[in-house]
Amino acid sequence: MQLEKDCRSLIGHTDVDEGINRRNFIQTAVGVGFAAAALPVFAQSVIKTDTKGLSAGVVSLDINGQKVPLYYAQPEGKSNLPVILVISEIFGVHEHIADVARRFAKLGYLALAPELFIRQGDAGKYASIAELMKEVISKVPDAQVMSDLDAVVAWAGKNGGDLQRLGITGFCWGGRITWMYAAHNPAVKAGVAWYGRLSGDASALTPKHPMDIAASLKTPVLGLYGAKDTGISVESVKKMEAALAQGHSHSAFNIYENSGHAFHADYRASYVEADAKDGWSRCVAWMKANGVA
């Protein structure tokens, strides 16, 4: 499966730093620790954003009878905030995704990271990528994800969010979802997709992929991709650009020549600090330029 190949490319094979207890990194709750399949964690490069001046935590949304955990972060005591959806990799809403939400909150956003795999299982508990893909990720329908995100957006509108300023960003699996949700929900003003898969075989669960919706896409999406990504080729990015050129979304790409997959993942060996920082700056600027600020 292509998605498994994409995700495998970000897994390192070196040991956890000496003196760091593996158990300390394993996810025990939404937004806490790291998923077992994401180990080893490179602690020396992990960015830690505090909650000073923020309200942050987990709420439970009842979506069609299913309790869906939602990590939120926002400036304390503020309302009428621009809303940013933060969509995780296959590992679910672990510490890195929660930290990204806090980074947005520090910039004045209501940042929301839903646990989109909850119906299929606990993504944080599987010890290997292969097992996680087989038991959880491969069973997640796009329709379910779109519906859950619609519910998250509705919740945001009732809890201090300004839905006239709605954006979405996501990583790996979440990068693909960023493209798809931008096409699904016309209220989305802008998206930033980090190394999300662009094409694939149609199936009952994933009937379309970003390449299929590119020409009809109306929301501007910025794609941030690595030239050395072994799962998502530069050629496929060029094909996506050509497909987008048939429409009027004004989407764009930035390709990082020195990076592979997951270059923003500061807890992984794949992390490239310079490109991650540049990508983050471009992400924030893209949101502002397209009315999500």
For the annotated catalytic residues, the residue numbers are 172, 229, 261
Calculate ∠ Cα 125-126-127, nearest 5°.
Answer: 115
Burial classification of residue 281, based on how many CB atoms lie within 10 Å of its CB (0-12 exposed, 13-18 middle, 19 or more buried): exposed
Instruction: Please list, residue by residue across 198-236, b when 16 or more beta carbons sit within 10 angstroms of its beta carbon and e when fewer do.
Output: bbbeeeeebeebbbbbbeebebbbbbbbbebbebbeeeb
Answer for the pair 266, 171: CB distance below 8 angstroms, yes or no: no
Copy the structure tokens of residue 266.
Answer: 């500061």
Instruction: Give the C-alpha separation, 22 to 44, whole Å.
Output: 15
Report the phi/psi class of residue 271: left, alpha or beta, with left for phi > 0 and alpha for psi in -120 to 50: beta
* Closest among 218, 227, 168 to 192, alpha carbons compared: 168
